[in-house]
Structure 1
Amino acid sequence: MSVVVCGEAMLLMLAEPGIPLERATVFRRSIAGAESNVAAGLARLGHDVRWLGRVGADPAGRAVLSMLRAEGVDTRHAVVDPDAPTGLLVRDSHPFRAIDVQYHRAGSAASRLTPDEVAPEMVSGAKIVHVTGITPMLSDSAHQATLRLLELAGQTGALVSIDPNVRLKLGTPGAWRERVVPLLARADVVLAGEDELDLLQVDPAVLPGLTVVKHRDKSATCAGLRQDAFPVPVTDPVGAGDGFAAGFLSGMLRGEPYEVCLREGAGVAALVVQCAADTDGLPDRAGLDRALAAFTEPTETVHR
């Protein structure tokens, strides 16, 4: 298994594009969750990916697992909880207006993740273990489970990748600093937004691992390199960060230099924001190569 991700996966109900949530009457079912988005992105790019997490024994949980499996993601270690529901995310979709997001995750199956549900065989052989700050913020037990996962990653020699993915509906800035900042100090790769680092009061220069900063102008930098965002029409900005993570980590898994990792991260993000749902725009390997060629070279953009 090349990559192991651990985190919350929810059922997404996405309002028809351009319609405010309070006025929407038509919704499309999909899947949401930072780690599951990264898992789907890496799987489409040809990597073996395992998802660790919990869903409820309900139609939403079955739909989440079915969609992950359809992407080729290994869910054999997923826990199905008969006593807690699968989380639900309801949101609208606008290219240039604030997006309204409603989370229904209190008491969810994902929030009941415990350390004893994370076992050594789940990460054995993995090259990268990827988590976000969302999982440890769900509950105390999910926090302890995240710590356990990072401990196992260290024991097996896997690189630890962390995206803070700050969601203030889960806690105050102080709570995020207390729980997530210590995790960043244990990461080999940190993928963070400039605004997130400011909120967490973290200087990227003091983090021990590689720090990739996604700036407010949509550029990304690491190790003295800079990658500007590719100019594309934006349909929905949600999921761009997860797409960037998938592209960047894919480059790392293939041993590419950071310049290529940045470019592929930007390429995946550019494809994601042109589609409404979080995972619709995630490309396969050939699709990403064609897109990067179109972004950087004068070439035919119609694939015939």
Structure 2
Amino acid sequence: MLLMLAEPGMPLDRAVSFRRSVAGAESNVAQGLARLGHWARWIGRVGDDPAGEAVLRELRADGVDVSGAEMDPQAPTGLLLRDSHAQRVIDVQYYRSGSAASLLSPDQIRLEMLEGARVVHVSGITPMLSESAAQATWALVERARQVGAAVSFDPNVRRKLGSEHEWIRTVGPLLREADLVIAGEDELELLLGGGAEETSKALLTMGRARTVVVKRRDHSASALGRDGECTQEPFSVPVSDPVGAGDAFAAGWLSAWLRGRKPEEALAEAACVAALVVQAPGDTDGLPTAHTRDRALAGFLQDSDSVNR
């Protein structure tokens, strides 16, 4: 979607100045991975309009491959309006009913788009957009299996998209199909009907999951695998805008996983990337390069001099 971000600190209904950017769960992760030095392709739909051009241009600028994107001459690019506050609830308004993205269908998920991919990441937002988008999500999982790619899944529950029952019915089954699950504690409780510890272990024993990463309410995170569990406390940073932290965390975790890092190292990198993003406005402004991540992480872990001399 095209993101129109109100000036910092202003409530949405009083804001007169907006900054244009781009937002979207999967595109945020793609941008995060690209900045961290990985090849990433985004598959999606935008309108054949100025907003769509802006979305694709920004993704290209970060090095994201958009050859799998489609521009729809009939449907508009989705729009997101929101304000930005560090200490109070953020007002988010979505305008994506009938948007190009909501018309995603299985026909767009072609096998050649996934060839060479090691991991395919999708969020619960996509299947909640429409019935055809849900079918496309299942097609994506099937195609990922065909090319031997791991499936990474983040429920990313957004209550404005549907009722609890609709989320449970549509997104719950996808959790059981993921090789890598990155989910909030509250999301696991909602979608699987049990405590986070219980549901995580169930996904490891009865689902396909190799690893379940749980983002907890106190902002710590745990990684549960078949070989054990490790935990990471959040890094203490001043928060400018908390939106985008979850997608940044996912990008940080997947980057470490792709590089063969141990779970405890992956959690630290994920927490570091999220900590950098919440210090900047917008969903993607704070996404770091690999060098910036490493310098920041060294500062967090070793209390080293962060000045670039």
Shorter-chain TM range is over 0.9
- CA offsets, 1:104-141, max 9 Å, x none? 00000000011011100000110000000000000000
Range with bigger deviation, 195-204 or 233-242: 195-204
Show the counterpart of 2:219: 218
Match of 2:32, SS state, is helix
Counterpart AA for 2:253: F
Show the counterpart of 1:239: 244
Show the counterpart of 2:271: 266
In the TM superposition, residue 303 of structure 1 has moved relative to its aligned partner by: 1.1
Kindly indicate whether residue 130 of structure 2 is the aligned counterpart of residue 139 of structure 1.
yes
Structure 1 segments of 4+ aligned residues over 6 angstroms from their partners: none
Range with bigger deviation, 293-302 or 196-205: 196-205
Counterpart AA for 2:200: P
Provide the C-alpha distance between the structure 2 equivalents of 1:199 and 1:25, rounded to a whole number of angstroms.
37
Provide the C-alpha distance between the structure 1 equivalents of 2:68 and 2:261, rounded to a whole number of angstroms.
30
Provide the C-alpha distance between the structure 2 equivalents of 1:183 and 1:144, rounded to a whole number of angstroms.
12
Kindly indicate whether residue 173 of structure 2 is the aligned counterpart of residue 204 of structure 1.
no
* Within-5 A mapping of 1:99-138: 99-138=90-129
Match of 1:295, SS state, is helix
- CA offsets, 1:245-264, max 9 Å, x none? 00000000001111111000
Show the counterpart of 1:63: 54
TM-score computed with the length of structure 1 as normaliser: 0.96
Kindly indicate whether residue 167 of structure 2 is the aligned counterpart of residue 176 of structure 1.
yes
In the TM superposition, residue 222 of structure 1 has moved relative to its aligned partner by: 1.1
Match of 1:37, SS state, is helix
Show the counterpart of 2:234: 229
In the TM superposition, residue 196 of structure 1 has moved relative to its aligned partner by: 1.0
Show the counterpart of 1:166: 157
Kindly indicate whether residue 57 of structure 2 is the aligned counterpart of residue 47 of structure 1.
no
Show the counterpart of 2:2: 11
Unpaired segments ≥5 residues, structure 2: none
In the TM superposition, residue 205 of structure 1 has moved relative to its aligned partner by: 1.4
How many matched pairs? 295
Match of 1:50, SS state, is coil
Kindly indicate whether residue 253 of structure 2 is the aligned counterpart of residue 285 of structure 1.
no
Counterpart AA for 2:262: P
- RCO higher in structure (CA 8 A, sep ≥6): 1
Match of 1:94, SS state, is coil
Match of 1:72, SS state, is coil
TM-score computed with the length of structure 2 as normaliser: 0.95
In the TM superposition, residue 298 of structure 1 has moved relative to its aligned partner by: 2.6
* Within-5 A mapping of 1:185-204: 185-200=176-191, 201=193, 203-204=199-200
Show the counterpart of 1:4: none
Provide the C-alpha distance between the structure 2 equivalents of 1:204 and 1:259, rounded to a whole number of angstroms.
17
Match of 2:212, SS state, is strand
CA RMSD of aligned residues (A): 0.7
Show the counterpart of 2:79: 88
Unpaired segments ≥5 residues, structure 1: 1-9
Kindly indicate whether residue 259 of structure 2 is the aligned counterpart of residue 254 of structure 1.
yes
Sequence identity percentage = 62
